[in-house]
Amino acid sequence: MKYPPSLVALIRELSRLPGIGPKSAQRLAFYLFEQPREDIERLASSLLSAKRDLHTCPICFNITDAERCDVCSDPARDQNLICVVEEPGDVIAIERSGEYRGLYHVLHGVLSPMNGVGPEQLHIKPLLPRVTEGQEVILATGTTVEGDATALYLQRLLEPLGALVSRIAYGLPVGGALEYADEVTLGRALTGRQRVSKPRPDA
């Protein structure tokens, strides 16, 4: 049995989305077919509006629909902190924590020579003029091989500029038990430990 050409085209386009294979694309296509026409038109309109209105911030390369993103436009943000992340979604995750009030810089990927991604394909060059001597740059790339390699590459670029380069801490999740932690996570937790006791005053 052959599917109608319009259905085949829809499945093909849906399967191009990240994390969507042919089977998932087929299920989504049939789901969309069952929805009311006005819902589909609203979805299509939202997609077109997002593509038309959204662009990257010229300063930090986060996604915005304004001239500059909300973070770069906020004078209350700590100008002495820049957090470097892989993707715009990482900015949202860090903002949800409520623990960070500095600036961001979005690379839009990580170094991956096997996939043809080098420094020229990432937003690394625009980061350098933003960094001043004594400014802290937090490298918040992932713990993958590519993420660690990207962090090391950035560290070597930024330290000669006088930046205080730090790497985001990784370790045990809140509420996690030691016996269930893998060796790498436990090792990072121990390496990234923080002192909690205050120095004893001289007698």
pLDDT in tens, 28-83: 999 999 999 999 999 999 999 999 999 999 999 999 999 999 999 999 999 999 99
| pLDDT at res. 202 | 62
| pLDDT at res. 65 | 95
| pLDDT at res. 200 | 64
Task: Please tell me what DSSP assigns to residue 134.
Answer: T
What is the C-alpha separation between 35 and 81, in angstroms, rounded? 47
Q: What is the pLDDT of residues 146-183, one digit of tens each?
A: 999 999 999 999 999 999 999 988 776 767 666 777 77
Task: List the structure tokens of 120.
Answer: 């020229």
Q: Is 195 a residue whose pLDDT tops 90? A: no
Task: Please tell me what DSSP assigns to residue 70.
Answer: T
Alpha carbon distances (Å) from 41 to 5, 9, 36, 47, 178: 20, 18, 9, 10, 50
Name residues whose C-beta falls within 8 Å of residue 120's C-beta, 6 or more positions apart in sequence. none
Instruction: Give the relative orientation of helices 5-14 and 22-34 as an angle to the nearest 10 degrees.
Output: 120
Q: Which helix (H) or strand (E) holds 137?
A: strand 136-139
What is the C-alpha separation between 156 and 128, in angstroms, rounded? 12
Alpha carbon distances (Å) from 79 to 83, 101, 127, 166, 195: 11, 9, 14, 16, 27
Q: Is 203 a residue whose pLDDT tops 60? A: no
Predicted structure pTM score = 0.82
| pLDDT at res. 3 | 85
Contact 140, 112 (CB under 8 A): no
| pLDDT at res. 50 | 95
